[in-house]
Amino acid sequence: MTRGSGLHVGIDARVLGRRGVGRYLSNLLRAMAGQSGDWRATVFLSGQSRAELVPRDPRFEAVRFGDAHPAWIEQVLIPREAQRRGVQ
């Protein structure tokens, strides 16, 4: 993972690879990978997410939470990991 002084975003991509929002997320990640600049992204995935859709780009880091309860992931695990990883 590239560690710069730029923006560090977190993306809740637990539905990555599904229809609707999942397809939007896939396209968003692909478009982000095409952008230059000093930024990085931590992508939060569930056990059902299609991790292969996260771009193979050193600015992206995937964090998989497995099949924990969705509310637990959203309310506890994502905020904890976002803070631990320095997501802005």
Where the chain has pLDDT below 50, the residues are: 1-2
Average pLDDT, the chain: 94
Measured CA to CA, the distance from residue 62 to residue 11 in angstroms comes to: 10
Report the pLDDT value the prediction gives residue 76, as an integer from 0 to 100. 97
Report the pLDDT value the prediction gives residue 2, as an integer from 0 to 100. 46
